[in-house]
Amino acid sequence: MAVLALGSMFLWRAEAAGLRVLVDTSASMPYAKFEGGELRSGLSHALGLELGRRLGREVQFVPVARKRLGQALLAGEADLVCGYAQSWLSGPLQWSRPFAQHVDWVVTRADAPAPQHLQDLAGQVVGSIAGFKYTGLERALGRQFIRDDGPDAQALLRRLQAKRINHAIVSRSYLDYQRQIGLFNLPLHTPLVLQSTELRCALAPQSRQAGLSLAQLDEALLGMQKDGFLTGPSS
Please tell me the pTM assigned to this model: 0.76
CATH number, position 90: 3.40.190.10
Distance between CA atoms of 73 and 57, rounded to whole angstroms? 18
Q: Does residue 68 sit within a domain?
A: yes
Return the SS3 of 99: coil
Selected residue with higher pLDDT from 210 and 107: 107
Q: Does residue 3 sit within a domain?
A: no
In contact, 189 and 198? CB cutoff 8 Å: no
In contact, 181 and 42? CB cutoff 8 Å: no
Q: Burial code of 86-99, b = ≥16 C-beta within 10 A, e = fewer?
A: eebbeeebbbbbbb
Residue 106 has pLDDT above 70, yes or no: yes
Whether residues 183 and 215 share a domain: the answer is no
Nearest one of 123, 126, 124 to 106, comparing CA atoms: 126
Whether residues 72 and 109 share a domain: the answer is no
pLDDT level of residue 93 (50, 70, 90 thresholds): very high
The domain of 124 spans 103-196
- In this prediction, what percent of the chain has a pLDDT beyond 90? 75
Residue pLDDT, tens place only, 17-46: 699 999 999 888 889 999 999 999 999 999
> What is residue 2's predicted lDDT score, i.e. its pLDDT?
37
